[in-house]
A and B are shown apart, each in its own frame.
Chain A
């Protein structure tokens, strides 16, 4: 197995005539990392992946694989394995021929024969018996596993996965996701994964980049991105969130509502939101306008600060919990609860000033 590659994009721009697919994107992916590009459709995440695969060239900027500028290097010389959403298995070849195709151009890694390498890979993806089958007779999940085996067979230094699970049903998707992650860990291969599903991105990645409108909004671990979204877009795109906009009317001790602030914490501010005020942990100066978010799970009936009276408009039963949507002063609020109220009922919840994350605009 070739050593895992370090991957980098420096100031990459991709434009097709008037339209800009990527605007000045810079990224670093560490060797052996499982890195995810997540964002809505048309945001540029697939373009980024195709740059790495050599299927597109940047209008400006540099793409590096293992420190080497790969502009002008055709796909066949990049040592990159690719798995596409719709499998792209060669329909006129058997499963074994598909998996072995890349070994026509390179010796199998580890000094084994092509046949040995093919059966090794088929076992790895859990299809040891499928070699002689016609790929069109396989189920979607099986096809995707063959596609993965095929991409891995020549021992690439980088694996690119372009929405590989999107065409599968939910249960299968979750199972295959774990398979992909297990194999990736075993092989220690640098992997760039593209998905539009933020939950999937949070679940599998070492780190992820949230892409929007051709730009990277935030790069970080799933935990950081979830807890401390860098932009309003990230706050709204990753998980459910409640966003508030207001103006700082008082800071720290001047809060004036008689609420004490612990010295070791962030300084607190009173923020005017509409006709009321909320207390928020921030060091923004007086007069500054702020946007902050509170996750649904932080809105708690037991917390007596920052009380919101929410009129319930709909509830969704999710199993363990329910998602409750309602209105507070003409603003949409999302809650999580184990015991959902009835539609039309008013529930009172509060949140801790520290549960707030202020989004930089």
Chain B
């Protein structure tokens, strides 16, 4: 009894001490309000994320499990038992061997994502080999260019594919000029898959190149010295170190292409509708219940895939950088004039690279060059009619028509607004969480979550929740289109800021901040005086990313800009597509230049690695 009482007295003592301590800390905080600035900023960011991402997505989920205010699993059950969506899974019995089982829309969505993943890996892997193993002029620039898919608007890819491979596109122009028959590639599954490869192969290249550069030459040389042939050493030493990176690239590609929207919408046509496209048309037909159910099932699948991606990513991050990377060979041997230099092996590898280069130029450069070309050339004549159309539309267009100048102005406005929201939020979150492993895990997860949830779903949630209005304590809270669009863009852009700033902060010696603080600087002051000056390239890269992501965003914008005057450049491009190539390509060219400007900023300030995207820790994003 006495010992229990003693313990109780001790406990009371500890509680009193704790309370006194808390009071003391609170008093000190009161004396130094600036000490609250960072936590307050981080808390605001978290609240913002909650309001404009988690809350809207939650509304969608609630929509999916309620019918007329009653809890019901009917909408979801409806989707997963409908053979239209899930194919033979919804049918009784086992499908007969003689006829191919129907895949349903989910099955088809997964099928095109799988094809796209295979195509992306096939197109991306040789690139990693060339970038990691050969030295040539422009190698660094090419390596930097692999960042492009993160900031290239998907609408631009769409219009590029129309310009290059459409009925009136560059390819048919070239074929016609040399007297060959015309081809009709659009719309088709192949076009979708190739466009997805255009988008995601550079991602595979980027991640695998980084892994390749981490392979230690000593390990390969040791294997050779122990008797392994060149090929054997490659399979035993190099391949196992590349495999996690390939898996990272492949899972990320699958996640992106599973929920890809504008490319499938525009290049696939109605016959090839994926879940995301059906989701969009359900919203357009105001069938929110079905849309919500589709969104839940789709998001569930994406989340599982994203979890797999995070696992692979973590595994590939554990590898240390190479003590001595594998040396690069000259792509063109300096003694190329001498016949003796050209062994069969050398000649073979160089020919393969030339062939690969031709494909790369066709797939990557073709569409982008075609955008500019088709906007300027009609029937072989250089003309400015496409641009005149834009000017004309601006002057005389009706109020319901999409005009070019508001699109440009809105895009830049949303870009700047996104920057202003996402940059401080991302920096604050990075500072608060860097160094604390438990927190950084959580933030990693929270910041990747927007990748796993499609822009359409976020847009739907924002529309159903904040734009239509929510009742809070008896007041009806509504936000307008522009605010909702900025919010959606900020949610998509913020992870890019974190992924550029957090690794840079993490790489700084903790003792720099500790020294500053022991010398009298507050945490905020240490950030401003010491950390930000040292990591500003990462911050600037984050800013450029945020801007570019906003400028290129399509999915959420098209949902939220419906009917209003808040359309952006990608939305305008989509509206112009389908009539003649001219207007869409002209608008696309403008978009291309804005995007290119962002890339130049990124490349200049980001140095070699460009923030957190140099290594195996590539993120992805809502790149619509």
Contacts and interface: CB of A to CB of B under 8 A. Distances in A.
A75 B518 CA distance: 5
A84 B522 contact: no
Contact of A92 (B518, B520, B525, B533): B533
Interface in B519-544: 519-523, 525, 529-530, 533-534
Contacts of B514: 53, 55, 75, 82, 84, 88
Contacts of A15: none
Most buried by B among A74, A102, A106: A74
A86 B517 contact: no
A92 B514 CA distance: 16
Interface residues of B, number: 23
Interface in A70-105: 71-78, 80-82, 84, 86, 88, 90-92, 101-102, 104-105
Interface in A108-162: 147, 150-151, 153-154, 156, 160
Candidate in A71, A76, A81 with the most chain B CB atoms within 10 angstroms:
A76
A124 B515 CA distance: 20
Contacts of A54: 517-518
B229 interface: no
A105 B516 CA distance: 10
A71 B25 CA distance: 9
B21 A88 contact: no
B509 A104 contact: no
B517 A90 contact: no
A349 B619 CA distance: 70
A90 B512 contact: yes
B518 A72 contact: no
Contacts of A74: 28, 35, 517, 522-523
B520 A106 contact: yes
Contact of A72 (B25, B530, B534): B25
B285 interface: no
B521 A88 contact: no
Contacts of A86: 509, 511
A82 B518 contact: yes
Contacts, number: 76
Contact of B534 (A82, A92, A102): A92
A90 B572 CA distance: 49
A102 B529 CA distance: 12
Given A53-B514, A82-B514, A90-B512, A72 B520 contact: no
B330 interface: no
B520 A105 contact: yes
A344 to B, nearest CB: 38
Nearest to B516: A101
A78 B21 CA distance: 16
Contacts of A76: 517-522
B24 interface: yes
Contacts of A92: 533-534
Contacts of B28: 72-74, 77
A188 B102 CA distance: 86
A90 B530 contact: yes
A147 B25 CA distance: 30
Nearest to B530: A90
B518 A80 contact: yes
Contacts of A151: 515, 518-519
A72 B29 CA distance: 10
Contacts of A78: 518
Nearest to A53: B518
Contacts of B515: 82, 84, 88, 90, 147, 150-151
A150 B519 contact: yes
A154 to B, nearest CB: 6
Contacts of A72: 21, 24-25, 28
Contacts of B519: 76, 81, 101-102, 105, 150-151, 153-154
Interface in B7-39: 21, 24-25, 28, 35
Nearest to A84: B511
A76 B514 CA distance: 9
A52 to B, nearest CB: 10
Contacts of A91: 534
Nearest to B438: A17
A154 B533 CA distance: 23
A161 to B, nearest CB: 12
A154 B520 CA distance: 9
A88 B513 CA distance: 9
B511 A88 contact: yes
Nearest to A81: B518
B547 to A, nearest CB: 26
Given A71-B21, A72-B24, A72-B28, A90 B518 contact: no
B58 to A, nearest CB: 32
A84 B518 CA distance: 12
A72 B534 CA distance: 29
A199 B437 CA distance: 36
Interface string B275-297: 00000000000000000000000
A147 B516 CA distance: 11
Given A72-B21, A72-B28, A88 B520 contact: no
A153 B28 CA distance: 25
A88 B512 contact: yes
Contacts of B24: 72
Interface in B526-571: 529-530, 533-534
A154 B263 CA distance: 62
A310 B525 CA distance: 64
A170 B520 CA distance: 33
Nearest to B515: A88
Contacts of B523: 74
Nearest to A80: B518
Contacts of A102: 519-520
A261 B337 CA distance: 97
B492 to A, nearest CB: 32
A64 B534 CA distance: 35
Interface in A210-249: none
B16 to A, nearest CB: 13
Contacts of A53: 514, 518
B25 A90 contact: no
B14 to A, nearest CB: 8
A78 B529 CA distance: 20
A90 B520 contact: no
Contacts of A73: 28
Nearest to B514: A55
A352 B24 CA distance: 60
Nearest to B14: A60
Nearest to A60: B14
A75 B517 contact: yes
A91 B516 CA distance: 13
A302 B523 CA distance: 65
A65 B258 CA distance: 60
Residue among A81, A86, A102, A154 with the most chain B CB within 10 A?
A102
A331 B533 CA distance: 60
Contacts of A101: 516, 519, 521, 529
Nearest to B26: A72
Contacts of A77: 28
Contacts of A105: 519-521, 525
Contact of A104 (B512, B517, B518, B520): B520
Interface in A285-337: none
A275 B35 CA distance: 69
Contacts of B529: 90, 101
B20 to A, nearest CB: 10
Given A71-B21, A88-B511, A104-B521, 8 more contacts: A72-B28, A74-B28, A74-B517, A75-B514, A76-B519, A82-B518, A90-B529, A104-B520
17 contacts: A55-B514, A75-B518, A76-B518, A81-B519, A82-B515, A82-B518, A84-B514, A86-B511, A88-B512, A88-B515, A91-B534, A101-B521, A106-B520, A150-B519, A153-B519, A156-B518, A160-B518
What are the 4 A-B residue pairs with the smallest beta carbon separation, nearest first? Answer: A105-B520, A102-B519, A88-B511, A75-B517
